Structure 1
């Protein structure tokens, strides 16, 4: 399995795509689809918590560990574990190795740019671009290029 991921990463670097050829915008669109369960074009804090904390928490400790997050992200969005590891550390605001509702609170405050308790899909996309750029060697700052 490790050889396959290394090969996929090298192939992704060469082609500027993740292991399934998805662009950054395509990954963000998949995340939006997973979050916006009622398809109203709005992401609420509850939807974000249900997706990232409740659904991705596997061992019953009310904490999404780096391992749990990596396993789910790689399986769902087909990115390399090293990329996911760095992403996890960016969203783990208090650096306790656990994603929980306190981390979601911090990010939702940033995500909800107009303070109305709801985040539009555009607000979420802007947030994700800001969060994801700068740590992955093949994710460009230009939205139209591939990851």
Structure 2
């Protein structure tokens, strides 16, 4: 039942977002979510493990080898990957940085991962992932 609810919620959000481009004129929001999913689902099994989630954000965004991602590292890599404006990228970063210390640590990402895992199966479906990203992008301040 939870999976069906998440899927319906995701489809509705996806339809709402499909009509919106990024406020900065970057990629369309659904394209960002799809590319991020493809980049993260390393073994292409249609689910993200916590290891895959860490690998995408720690291994690919951590440029100084500290095993955490600074705001500057995130802004640089997200902007490079998704051609997104700094303000939008900072908005995403602030939603990922759950403890508000301006660093994405494995603890932040673990909390985020488990927050997304609505059915508590220790993996993230594309519907669960899309729901979180739709929430984040849905809270963008459009001018």
TM-score class normalised by the smaller sequence: 0.7 to 0.9
Instruction: Find the partner of 1:35 among 28, 35, 40.
Output: 40
**Corresponding residue for 1:122?**
127
Instruction: Find the partner of 2:69 among 39, 64, 67.
Output: 64
What runs of 5+ residues in structure 1 fail to find an aligned partner?
A: 1-14, 139-147
- Are residue 79 (structure 1) and residue 93 (structure 2) matched? no
**Corresponding residue for 1:89?**
94
Quote the RMSD (CA, aligned, Å): 1.6
The superposition leaves residues 117-143 of structure 1 with CA deviations (integer Å, 9 ceiling, x where unpaired) of 0111111111111122112416xxxxx
- Are residue 135 (structure 1) and residue 140 (structure 2) matched? yes
What runs of 5+ residues in structure 2 fail to find an aligned partner?
A: 1-19
**Corresponding residue for 1:53?**
58
In the TM superposition, residue 102 of structure 1 has moved relative to its aligned partner by 0.5
The superposition leaves residues 18-71 of structure 1 with CA deviations (integer Å, 9 ceiling, x where unpaired) of 544x22111100000000011110011110100001221001222200000000
Asked whether the 8 Å contact 2:21–2:29 carries over to 1, the reply is: no
Inter-partner Cα distance in structure 1 for 2:42 and 2:122: 17
Instruction: Find the partner of 1:110 among 83, 103, 115.
Output: 115
What TM-score does the superposition give when structure 1 sets the normalisation length?
A: 0.78
Inter-partner Cα distance in structure 2 for 1:71 and 1:19: 17
